[in-house]
Amino acid sequence: MNIPNYLAENDIKPSYQRIRIFEYLYHEMNHPTVDLIYKTLAPEIPTLSKTTVYNTLKLFVDKGITSTVTIENNEVRYDAIVTHHGHFKCNVCGIIVDIPLNFNQLNLNELKDVTIEQTQVHLIGKCNKCLTI
Ligand SMILES: [Zn+2]
Ligand SMILES: [Zn+2]
């Protein structure tokens, strides 16, 4: 993906900091928090502040190129995948893994005349790595 073009196509001025933040989100696919993005990029981008990271992510969400994942109430994590999908979270190491969702297999017959605006499907447990410790 050409990230500067992708940002521009979505009406976002591709500044250096914005490019780096989206690049991180898109390549790591680790559902980072603001803190993690800040801690990872700050050594390379001395002008970066936590507020900039937060505001940049908010802009990405507003423009529809990033989604938020809130599994625990106090922790917002960010995702470059904006299509409907679910998440598995390990409650030991905190890793979040994407799960494809097949809406054709969901029984939505009880729902009449509604629109779905958000999908939050969370499975919580222990990942393979943590189970073997
Ligand atoms: Zn784990
Ligand atoms: Zn995800």
Q: Give 95 Cα–ligand 1 centroid separation in angstroms.
A: 6
pTM: 0.86
Asked if residue 62 lies in contact with residue 54, where contact means CB atoms within 8 angstroms, the answer is no
Convert the pLDDT of each residue in 36-73 to its tens digit: 999 999 999 999 999 999 999 999 999 999 999 988 87
The answer as to CATH 1.10.10.10 being correct for domain 3-78 is yes
- Which residues, chain by chain, have CB under 5 Å from ion ligand 1? 90, 92-93, 127, 130
Least reliable range by pLDDT among 5-14, 16-25, 72-81: 72-81
Alpha helices in the chain (DSSP H): 3-9, 16-28, 34-41, 50-62, 128-131
Give the C-alpha distances (Å, rounded to integers) separating 120 from 62, 66, 86, 88: 18, 14, 6, 11
User: Please, what is the Cα angle at 117 between 67 and 104, to 5 degrees?
Assistant: 100
Q: How far, in Å, from the CA of 75 to the mean position of ligand 1?
A: 17
Residue 29 — left, alpha, or beta (φ > 0 → left; ψ -120 to 50 → alpha)?
left
> Ligand 1 mean position to 103 CA, how many Å?
27
CATH number of 83-131: 3.30.1490.190
Sorted by where each begins, the domain ranges of the chain are 3-78, 83-131
